[in-house]
Amino acid sequence: MSNRYFSYRDGRLQASGVPLDALAEAVGTPFYCYDADALEHSYSHFATALSGLPATICYALKANSNQAVIATFARLGAGADVVSEGELRRALTAGVPARKIVFAGVGKTPRELAAGLDAGILQFNVESLSELKRLAEVATARGTTAPVALRVNPDVDAGTHAKITTGRADSKFGIDAAEARAFLLANREIPGIRIEGLAVHIGSQLTDIQPYRLAFERLIALYRELKTAGLPLKRLDFGGGIGISYRHGPLSENGAGEEVGEADARVTAYAEMVRGLVQGLDADFVFEPGRLLVGNAGVLVTRVLYVKDNGPRRFVIVDAAMNDLIRPTLYDAWHEIVPLTQPAAGAALRPVDVVGPICESSDTFARERPLPPVAEGDLLAFSSAGAYSFVMASTYNSRPLAPEVLVRGDRYAVVRPRMDYETMIGQDRLPDWLAGQDDSPRQRKAGRARGAA
């Protein structure tokens, strides 16, 4: 097995120069591990592919919002695509300049709109005319003007999972193109609002550039029409969504050595398509990659607790669970699963169900997955866990959140420690009628009796 960032060396799976079994001993399991070299490569290749274009690359924080990950991209020149005040605060704290932040999302609250205005962000991607009205009210009350890009719904099916497709007419995202055109032509001046561009985002995990081409052609045609009509537009936001390989990810025996090259080729084809469409266009451009930059830069490491046979089915029960990695439960997603100790050449594979300890049948990572021999105490890695993994984690079953570790070369740092039970339980508060020492049911009954007397 070979990969530029995750590979077996001397029989041990490593992230760059750090053996993952050594990390397991140091921080316990389960844990997430991200490779900084992989993060930097993904960003640098994307930026190089777009070189020469007036482009701002805004990393989509929803994919992975660890401060160290955001800061890694910020130091490379990235902006940020945020969808909440929390993500806005994370981006600013990690060193992303406000002038490189795009605020998206269909349900921004007045407080969030005010936070973006006060920070001085690049633009709000407005997703409804109702939101535009609310933003105008907030901006006017603060004596300022909001920079806006209207997110247009191009009615393009991205062809991905239904839960991550956002560009169809039946989606909650964006404004119908005809409605956006009519509104902008009829409302040249909007108090508190400065319409600077148009935006589009048709979904996530796209591996085919044709849906992009169709959506971008429609967006560019509308942009040209509105510019010709005299609207002072200057920016096109093409969104994100470029996908990664999961079935042949960085830990796959079949595709281990090729995923980086495959992703690079996909980005190159995407950039060439964009260049062809925008040739001669008077506009700046925004791109919002997320999963592409972080997905295959991370793994989730877990330990086998038990192996048991129920009739013909063998179950491998691990200490990670759906609260740590919900994608298989939520999307029926596939993640490669490999042992941290390299299997012997020609080791026989046996179909097993890899499951977690949570009291839900849906707490299943893989069904009848062919794996080499696995024993209790062994360590396994789930590939492609850099995106939509920790950020979607929870404390379901009162399981503390797992730690996150960042590796660079032969060094590592715990960039988010494991949550302890005191912190988790300490977030709860007892009401005054439960907090008192003298408020038991018997004492309350006695108190009522004394009052009656």
186's CB contacts (< 8 A; 6+ apart) are: none
d(CA 445, CA 453): 13
Q: What is the dihedral of CA 129, 132, 137, 138, to 10 degrees?
A: 140
d(CA 277, CA 213): 8
Question: 125: buried, middle or exposed (CB in 10 Å: 19+, 13-18, 0-12)?
Answer: buried
Distance of CA 46 to the CA centre of its chain: 17
d(CA 250, CA 366): 18
Q: Which candidate in 345, 348, 359, 453 is catalytic?
A: 359
Question: 181: buried, middle or exposed (CB in 10 Å: 19+, 13-18, 0-12)?
Answer: middle
Is residue 351 within 8 Å of 333, Cβ to Cβ?
Answer: no
Nearest to 126 by CA among 106, 145, 154, 111: 106
Q: How far is CA 33 from CA 99, 154, 289, 356, in A?
A: 31, 37, 20, 19
d(CA 220, CA 387): 30
Tokens of 240: 């994100």
Crossing angle of helices 129-141 and 110-119, rounded to 10°: 60
* Residue that is written with structure tokens 């605060």 in the block: 89
Q: Does the annotation mark 359 as catalytic? A: yes
Catalogue the active-site residues: 359
